[in-house]
Structure 1
């Protein structure tokens, strides 16, 4: 069975094009079923499953990512830094039009690979991610595959560290330790992190180490690691309000310690940005992040319903309005969780983190498959399984990519969220939580 999984991952890595959705879905469904079957049969032999997970990742080592072209932008940014150029101050298109394209090796190939949408916008990847891109740029300044291998090795290492801290946290919470494999052997995690080089894996590693240190009362280092996780991807900022009640219970509302915790987080973020800091960076980075709320649309749930209502009532796409209102709703929802829900126990803190991230993504205008990985990691520490369902159904979104371009299949998007939200409602109302194995 394990050999079959490895062979299918090899087919996924080296013999699949994104537009062949039937093959993509068939392979993914088979991998999903067999991977969880392996966990069920071998869950007590964690060393065997750890080795198996590493082998599944190493299968991708020499493959060029085939489901996402974001890695071309990572390489571009890294090579800019390697040449001493701030990647936040210009777009690839601007750089190419300036006539200086020869400074970045394989610049034409990189820009064509990332495509015009990405090349026309300023980078929105925070500094810690940029450091990894820069390392790849220094080690392999003229090889795309070489740069891919460097980033892939780092992400595999991050996944292994994540697995170890998943087990530590599960042990501390007195939960079954084999749950760590629901993340580590999940095909979504392997394909999107190792396969497609998305840096959620590095962010999740820093976030889980931060939470572990916090539960061990090492709140200063916990704050530093939390700040580093934000400097990989900005998403953990959504979780910040949830620590209020935890500090209230664990530290008897030592307001100075709480303020210091938040202060160290933001100081860490600032320090990581210092090598790139300028007025133009703040403007460009802010503009780039705003695009995700006010312009981009992909695999959304509640927003698509709002968009349809907008077309029916005013006759045009209201993303410009909805993109400003929905983040405010998310903010108030997270504040409600932090103020009215008691996050004063470790398990409750994880549940509210899961709900905060779920609310954020259910109200987002853009939900790429790899976005689901962070709430998936948090869900391991709760009794809710709807993120496992989502980690399967989110693959339906790849049906949008066809030979002739991009054509989102809204009925599949609808099916994805009906299954996820339906399962969530069932779990929320059920007195008995579903036992997987």
Structure 2
């Protein structure tokens, strides 16, 4: 036994040392970093990204080691209070309402706190920590997300730390599912299975999902499972996980028309109908006459009130300011236009893209999300996790560059007035767009976006 350990050490001592360094940096990130400390954040993140690259480079065929490291790095965050996002306080608040049998779409947190008719443990603390904007608006998280919040709070003993632990275990399970089915899809596409580690060991994924408790991981697990089942021609069953994916985050809703080409018109119609019915089933427990008005009122805020880490929108805003157009007027108009532009893109890809092949289907999803994020006025770092997963099944790697540079967007929190640094945003997007242009040029232009069957 000692000889085996010694031999293993001699063969893998560099990756082991890199892994220890990674663990120390993740521990520092989780327990000794505050969001305003931007310089320290960037240094930690850049180092973690470099170490991630070296670990994959050295041990890409050692699946057991890299899988174990990915799990260990996530477990380091198990007891940490998220330090880059307050969203989890609203998750816990909504979870309490669910297990109390109350509808989270019907009540404003501030109203419940004032009336005291519904007793929620640590209510005052939760409302204070979720920030005024969240506390003064109805929940905008889709129905199946609410079920997951309720499950996490119930398993966690209805306290904050217990809820955090339950959420992290749930998110770890989802990432393990992505690892399992991701390898299967990669093998089906004749791509190297080790590419899944660019998701599983990616610092953005670990920090934003396991660290900051964003549920993109669960949404992507169900989306990937649906794609895998479609590949196996089990498209009727695939409608269930796709419906759940949409009922966690609405993003996959944009992909539904693509399946008309993948499955054919008749099967595609049946498939889309089943997905919509599945979404409606998750909505039934929360349905109320006021649901639509409350939900879409909160949802519209993201399109017409917020701006963060934008690219094209910032260019439009700069041009609008020279025409003396007020920013708050611009974003309301801009937010109404974007959905129509995305719908037009989806229509073009549905009609002209050969989505019968799984790689083409996934590439179409990648194109839609990329254009959507380039157009959006708000691109939070965790949004890009979807691009990271989709890109490993395609021929494009620019989302990996974006996952490395998006940390620059957190510079806004180092400013007491929450003011973004346009220079850092320019650097972020120049690197991303530059790498995308390089990949398109290397593959002879935009036709490379359409993989050959």
Assess if the C-alpha contact under 8 Å between 2:94 and 2:146 holds in 1. yes
SS of 2:105 mapped into structure 1: helix
| Structure 2 gap ranges (5+) | 1-17, 449-453
- Give the superposition deviation at 1:413: 1.3
Partner of 1:8: 25
Candidates 137, 140, 154, aligned match of 2:153: 137
Partner of 1:237: 253
SS of 1:279 mapped into structure 2: coil
Candidates 74, 82, 86, aligned match of 1:57: 74
Partner of 1:75: 92
Partner Cα distance (1:376, 1:355) in 2:
12
Partner of 2:438: 426
- Give the superposition deviation at 1:403: 6.0
Candidates 8, 16, 22, aligned match of 2:39: 22
Partner of 1:314: 324
SS of 2:131 mapped into structure 1: helix
- Give the superposition deviation at 1:142: 4.5
Assess if the C-alpha contact under 8 Å between 1:79 and 1:141 holds in 2. no
Whether 1:391 aligns to 2:408 is no
Partner Cα distance (1:416, 1:90) in 2:
39
Partner of 1:348: 360
TM-score normalised by the chain length of structure 1 = 0.95
- Give the superposition deviation at 1:349: 1.4
Assess if the C-alpha contact under 8 Å between 1:127 and 1:232 holds in 2. yes
Partner Cα distance (1:360, 1:107) in 2:
36
Partner of 2:12: none
Partner Cα distance (1:140, 1:415) in 2:
42
Assess if the C-alpha contact under 8 Å between 1:105 and 1:141 holds in 2. no
Partner of 2:416: 404
- Give the superposition deviation at 1:330: 1.2
Partner of 2:314: 304
Partner Cα distance (1:297, 1:97) in 2:
30
Partner Cα distance (2:172, 2:153) in 1:
18
Partner of 1:123: 139
Partner of 1:250: none
Assess if the C-alpha contact under 8 Å between 2:96 and 2:158 holds in 1. no
Partner Cα distance (1:343, 1:121) in 2:
39
Partner of 1:282: 292
Assess if the C-alpha contact under 8 Å between 1:192 and 1:370 holds in 2. yes
Partner of 1:157: 173
| Structure 1 gap ranges (5+) | 248-252
- Give the superposition deviation at 1:136: 2.4
Partner of 1:226: 242
Assess if the C-alpha contact under 8 Å between 1:136 and 1:150 holds in 2. yes
Partner Cα distance (1:29, 1:116) in 2:
32
SS of 1:33 mapped into structure 2: helix
Partner Cα distance (1:95, 1:245) in 2:
48
SS of 2:111 mapped into structure 1: helix
Partner Cα distance (1:107, 1:68) in 2:
19
Q: State the Cα deviation string for residues 268-289 of structure 1 (Å, max 9, x = none).
A: 0000010001121111111111
- Give the superposition deviation at 1:138: 2.0
Partner of 1:338: 350
Assess if the C-alpha contact under 8 Å between 1:166 and 1:180 holds in 2. yes
- Give the superposition deviation at 1:162: 0.6
- Give the superposition deviation at 1:141: 5.0
